[in-house]
Structure 1
Amino acid sequence: MPLAQGWSGLLALGLLVAAVVLAHVLVAAAGRFPAGSVLTVLIPAGLAGGYFAARGAIEGGPMEVLRDSVPRLLTAARPAPPTVDLLMPGVVFVFCVAVVAAVSLRGTRLLGPPLAAVALYASGALLTGGSADPYGLAAVGVVAIALAGWVRRSEAPAVLGAVVGLVAVVLPAGDAFEPRELVQPPIADVQVANPLPRLAAWAAAPDTELLRLRGPQHAVRLAVLSKYTGASWRAATLYGPLGAVDAPALPPGGRVEGVSVEITVGALDGTWLPGMGRTVSTSLSDALVDPDSGALVLPRGLTPGLRYTVDGILDQPTDEQLAGAGVPGGAPVEEYLELPRLPADLAEYARTSVKSATNPYEQAVALEQVVRLDRVPDAEAPTGSSYARISQFLFGAPGTNGAGEGTAEQFATAYAVLARAVGLPTRVVVGFPPVPEGPDGYRVLRGVDVTAWPEVYFQGWGWVPFDPVSGTDSGPSAAAKREVLDRLASVTASPPTPPSDLPPLLPPPHAPPPQAAAEPPSRVWVVATGIALLPVLAAAVLATLRLARRSRLRRSGATGAWRHVLDQLVVSGRTPAPHLTAPAIAATIPDPAAHTLATLADRAAFAPYPPSPAATDPWTLARRARTAVARKAPWYRRLLWPIDPRPLRHR
């Protein structure tokens, strides 16, 4: 079960259980063959089956497919989508482990199944980064089941408590080791088109169904644009698998909401994959993500009828939190403040627009009102995001083409340029606003719904969207925005007309980049230490169990002393046949003390009257017999006598 949590849904659990059942059935069917032959046949068969199942999704020969399967799983989303190529390594591994465990049941029943359980548990912990069993309940269950076959019922609680206490002391309590840090994720250079120029084309086909979705009523993101050249917007070009890319330079805020949505593609084309919020996981295994924005791309392109699910998180700060928030400085926000050769008129207009604001949130609200005031959206207005087009949109003489008129592209770009000019980290998002749910439970997004909006990043609270097209008339913070505007008294700035010989103004300087944090020390040593401690932990547990058994036997008098001698015979490799009597077994030990002890044990167990006190202490006889047994045993067996687990099962 912990291993199955590495994949989303219940399909993985069903396949892993089926692999265990199949392995035991095949081993049982091959019961007449030697155990080595069964392992030689079934394990290669499992590897071959995994290759034939995944060869369509992973290119290459058998060795390449099997070799690359685990790195692909470690660089996939977490939890991984239940696709053939990502499920294959888990199913094959469980099958091989189950085959070894099933073969071990044909010989000794002591160590095979518990070791198989430990292998599966450790694999699940590594695959999920320790999140599959955060409180160790499954680990305690494995230990309890193993101990149930090793000790008596009366001793199980005490031994289990000792083992759990020992595990709690020995195991590290710090952050879980993350094996994904040891795998270089495949980063792809994907050239994606800027969707802003297509806003007019989508608006020209207002009734075309682009998407159909089922989920909460939030905005759907298509593309996130953060690089501004002064002439146009550009999206990121480096994308990686979900769960395998680095953390974003600007982290999510402290108050977020998880969202999940099911999307069906209609007439929408291209490589941008719609999602909701910052994407956490998706059912498409070949989708790639921009780590900074969470925007998704599908390199193979969208096709009509494509259906998938997306899980994401949305920043949801309150108005009070935004009112006291600042904006970050330094290297992480440089990309969101870039304005190459900003014209002087735009810089001065931005400064004049926020002159009454006292904090970043008030500046953002003021700019939303400034861009919106006296300007109207027009789907047939000239397109473009250059400084020239924005200046025409903001300052053009009434009646000229594009003056005071624009699509969502001009509204969002004008806001982003002015916001960056006053030091607010800003980006532009292309997507769909929330639409009401239809009678069939779906929300239908059409060409008329495609729009663009700016987002501002606030320290500690994440990305907050603004709407310069609708302004303060919409959104959950509409009342708060109107209160801000009332306090500012006047936020409208007249477009300045600077002298033509003035050089372009640069955006105000921001705080110097902080020193890079020291790289956390590698945690590979934690794995090495844990692996090194496993034999020590196992030896300590077995030694404790052996001492508990010897203490119980010492309280049993002559019969306990004789059982102690039988334990020494078992660990020396001379397990007596079950039909032999005690004196017959004693005859095989070259010391008269063994025969005397066997007679005392027989009388203690079967005499019809209490035996008279022995002249010699039974345990003194037992020690002499043990010495005689040791002389005949190889030296390497004597080294393992104190921790040999076989006496724990001997009756």
Structure 2
Amino acid sequence: MMTSSDVRGVAPAMAVPLTCFVTVLFALASWGSFTSARFPYLGPILVVGLLIVGTGISARLLRVHGSVVVLLQVLLGTIATGLLVVQHPFPVTGGGRARVVAEMTEAYAAFDPFDLPMSASGVAPYLVPAGAAAVLLADILAVTLRRPPMMGLVVLGVFTVPFSIIGAGGWGGVSWVVFAFTATSFLVMLRLDRAQQLGRWGRRLDEDLPVVPATGPALIGVSAVAIALLAPAWLPSANVALPGLGAGDGDGPLRVINPTVGLYDDLRRQSDQVMVTVTPVYGDTEAPPSYLRVGALTKFTGTEWTSGNRDVPSDQTGVATFEPPMSDETLLGEPTTYQIRASDKFESTWLPVFTHPLEITAKGPWRYDEDTLDFMSTEGRDETVAGQSWRMTAAPVEPTQERLLAAGEPGVGAPPGMTDLPLLPDEIAEIALERTAGQDRPFTQAVALQNWFRHSGEFTYSLERDVGTDGAALVDFLTDNKVGYCQQYATAMAVLARQLGIPARVAFGFLNGDQDEDGAWTFRGRDLHAWPELWFEDIGWVRFEPTPAAADTSEPGYTAGALGNVRNEPQAPVPSTDASAAPAPNRPQREAPETPEATQSDTEESSSGAIWTGLGIAALIGAIALAAPAVIRRRRRTARLAGDAEACWAELGDTAIDLGLPWSGTRSPREEATGLAPHLRDREPMTALQRIVTAVERNRYAERRDIATVGDDVRLVSATLREHADRRARRRASLWPASVFRRPTSPAAAGPAARSERELISS
């Protein structure tokens, strides 16, 4: 049973803070359910958390006020987090703030809950500060404020993150292993805190009686953890999920396949596996279907295109009938009904459909956006199209060139927000105006942009260069390197069209299919593609094809000759005609510049060096914290040995406490000396101890205070006690003196007070 003396040592002071930290760390491991790895964010959180917890333990042992403890934890935690995340110790200053903005901008581009798992290192600038804040808040609640059960709120907040990103399906990706370790650690923390609270009252009167299990705290702990883990599954999710797609009901956010992350890897993989099979049932069964759209990206953040915020009513189902997007139905081709089946390899949470569906029947939790006609799963990644079949009737849009040329002002009748753009470099607007100079109609401006990418702009298609989509990368793509794949061409044309006021979006899906012996059309992984769609009055979304012809693309027939040009394909390198080679796009005609690569390498080395510098600073702070007690003890010893008998007596008591010898600080000098005598053995130190006791008694109880010092006697007795102690006790007394962390005891109250009264009477 823990006694009152047990709760004042170093180990008890570390028990609750460390178990609290471990509990939060276990809970933070749940974030690995939506990241590619745990170490890139858990590693820095571990370092920062140990610094925060270690600072709190050290400061509390030194009897620092609680508000100062929190201030120190915030200061050191902020410095460590800044060094690890942005390689700057003060992220609130000018230079530090600029780095924070840059890192957060890049992390926002990588933060994509629609294509899981996300890059752990990419989103670490979000996860590391959030995890460090969780550790700090938990320590404040459980230790500083002494409210450990309230720390369950922190666990609740931590577990809400995967539920918000992944959805309630599969318990938000939280494994039962994480649940078990979190619950166990939380209960251990509650038990340790309860033992310490009871221990402060002293020895129990019923220690000899059988111990009755304390079921109350255990029940509270289990209930708190269960609520923290299960409540997010019952709580309704917000209608908007960062950074794009919103949920339609309380079942969690919808997920999509975001090509800004996944499409590039899928394109480079050039998979020959069949992803979708389309079988014409009736209608125009001879015309080959093409451009099977998976989804549309409608929002440009400045660093990437996302699905935007979608309005998905909760009363929708996977059965829907749509009116044609234009009043003149002659613009539609002959409707065709298809039976579509997705392979088990195609795990999309968006349902592939053709651009202008008229009727769709899909079993399962599918809903649609009336503005974009995208079908999306309401169950997140737990419900995908893999292995499913659905039926669709669609008609191709066949607008005449005359009708497109006669389209009115851009944006008439378009869904809202389709021309929105963030702040971009001025060069992009200048390029849009320059490449469409002399064209005063939206359609001719769009054709001019398409022709520039495909014909006159000297662009090259290649999968060997991933150039990004932020403002600077876009300017570089349009002016210098001009090498990219379909995603760059689609996003670039969409941005330029919006600069001109033409509603635009980026669609992604499959380019063309191959017909098998049974007449079905198969779309393979290598057919993945992205293209821009522009809105025209009373026509709707119209496809354009800016990707160069070397990528096996062709411009739509309604764009040929719109500017008086003869339709022809550019003189671009063609892929190898080797029959044994899989279809692949052409490679770039020139190598990438070496300077950016060298700069990137230097930046990586600089970042790595800054991280190690930060870790070194954190380790130095920890070493200083560990060495502080020994330094304090030495300075205290020097000052006391030069003082009076009372100061020397306090020094002798601290020496006994450091060596683990019996010393309460509340008994009389003779009783304390009796406890130390067996550890002296020799006559000379015994005599010195008697002189010390006599001096202390005279100082406390004599009519006139004795100011004589007994420093030499204390040195002799202390040296003898250390000599006769075991090696482990001596090492502990030198490195981690327990007396530093013990509240000092005052001399017997009867001493100075009684002497003062006698002096007053005698006077």
TM interval, shorter chain, is 0.3 to 0.5
Q: TM-score, normalised by structure 2?
A: 0.36
Q: TM-score, normalised by structure 1?
A: 0.42
